[in-house]
Amino acid sequence: MKQREFPAAAGRVPAGAIGHNRGVVRRNYAFMPPEGVLVSRLPQYEGTIARVLAAPVLGAGFAQYVLEVAPGGGNAAPFREAGIQHFFYVLIGEVTFGIGDDAPKRLTAGGFSYLPPGTPFTLRNETAETARVLTLRKRYEPAPGLTPPEPILSHQDAVPMTNHTGMEGRGFQFLLPYGDMRFDFEMNLMWFKPGVCFPAVETHVMEHGLYMLEGQGLYLLGQDWHEIWAQDFIWMGGFCPQQFYPTGYSDACYLLYKNVNRDVAL
């Protein structure tokens, strides 16, 4: 092949692909379908594709990714970041997760781990199938008299379903201990029966990272409604008007990050 010849095409752009995009980025929110998120790679992982969903360049106070870990991929050696917390949630497949000097343990779909700042960890895929892991990084915000919490390695099936709102058809699973002031963020599974919505449009100081896991629905961001389904991601900045209305015939569920338990920085 001559240097200036194009390589042979593996396929063609499908009809309707040009200029048609569900993705929207505004001053204080972003709606990001997976088809528009390009692949990247990170030096701390081998055999792993990273798709960056949220980052400070977007306006977020955290970073969130989907890691696609090929068989044999993951950390070649323990990895840690001073001052940075990590959260992992297995979307598909199975990984082996090690915390500090503890023996590595299996995490299957629905398994999760929280790591306080500076904690070394390993994440490996020792199976024959690619695993997909949602991960989040956030700088820890210390508070007077409080020490960082301990690591957590668990599964969503071990977390009770609650409903503190009293609204029929809603369920909450708090993957991090609810009300524990040592934590400066929450990671919650939010469940909705078809046709059940927020009782009001929410407008509050917390920011969110929302990853859709199951079902579908309509999500209000600012003044616009967006149709959302599995693998879509939403970043919501502080005071972004928001509301969710599930559609379809099955339950809807998303994993929601929000910053809590700390005073406003001035």
Residues 24-77: tens digit of each pLDDT: 999 999 999 998 999 999 999 999 999 999 999 999 999 999 999 999 999 989
pLDDT score at 3: 61
What is the token pair recorded at 43? 């030096």
Cα 222 off chain centre by: 21
Q: What pLDDT score was predicted for residue 195? A: 87
Q: Which CA distances in Å does 123 have to 64, 84, 95, 187?
A: 16, 17, 7, 20
pLDDT(189) > 70: yes
d(CA 65, CA 53): 5
Indicate the range of 35-39, 47-51, 194-198, 231-235 predicted with least confidence. Answer: 194-198
**Confidence band for 1, pLDDT divided at 50, 70 and 90:** very low
Instruction: Tell me what the mean pLDDT of segment 212-228 comes to.
Output: 96
Are 106 and 52 spatial neighbours (Cβ–Cβ below 8 Å)? Answer: no
Residue 168, judged by CB atoms within 10 A of its CB (0-12, 13-18, 19+), counts as exposed
Nearest to 141 by CA among 259, 56, 40: 259
Amino acid at 63: A
pLDDT in the model for residue 84:
98
Task: Report residue 57: phi and psi, to 5°.
Answer: -60, -25
With a pLDDT cut of 90, the percent of the chain lying above it is: 86
**pTM of the predicted model, to two decimals?**
0.94
> What are the structural domain ranges in the chain?
24-141+154-259
| Residue 233 burial (10 A CB sphere; 0-12, 13-18, 19+) | buried
pLDDT at 197 over 90: no
Tens digit of each residue's pLDDT (9 = 90 or more) over 4-18: 676 666 777 776 677
How does the average pLDDT of the chain come out, rounded?
Answer: 94
Structural fold of domain 24-141+154-259: Jelly Rolls (2.60.120)
